[in-house]
Amino acid sequence: MTRVYLADEKNEERSALRLLLLDLNMEVAGEASDWFTTLVQVPISRVDMLLVDWDLLPINSPNAALDGLRKVCPTALVVVLISHNDARTQAALSIGADAFISKDETPERVAEHLRAVAASIRTIVASG
């Protein structure tokens, strides 16, 4: 079972993602509404995937923030959630995210993206 950590400041968005992840038979191993809590909880959560809202990253240093996240949880895949499919998409990938998901997508498309990331985790584990 894929273990996922949710980091999004909006409770309603975390709730919707939590329900979607449960429908996909993924385990929500933890969640936070701020960056500091995320960095503290992620290392002890033993997660496979991190879902991080772009707006939660420190605005002055998103690259350093994701580097710090990777240091405390080096094996997890990082998926950045974005609100608008624009230049932030490229920025999210260029700062070290493994994937991105637009919050503007339908729940079905979000589920497809999450399944694809989970499948890549299984592939990495199987080959490792």
- pLDDT tens digit string along 5-56? 999 999 999 999 999 999 999 999 999 999 999 989 999 999 999 999 988 8
Q: Give the whole-angstrom CA distance, residue 42 versus residue 109.
A: 26
pLDDT for res 51 = 95
DSSP-assigned letter for residue 54 = G
Angle of helix 107-127 relative to helix 11-23, nearest 10 degrees, comes to 60
What are the residue boundaries of the structural domains of the chain, listed by start? Answer: 3-127
One-letter amino acid for residue 97 of the chain:
A
pLDDT for res 3 = 95
The topology (CATH level 3) of 3-127 is Rossmann fold (3.40.50)
Percent of the chain with pLDDT over 70: 85
pLDDT for res 15 = 95
HSE (side-chain half, CA atoms, 13 Å) at 41: 16
Q: Give the whole-angstrom CA distance, residue 117 versus residue 98.
A: 9
CA-to-CA dists, residue 74 to 14, 19, 46, 88, 93, angstroms: 23, 26, 10, 23, 17
pLDDT for res 2 = 92
Residues facing residue 102 across a β-bridge: 82
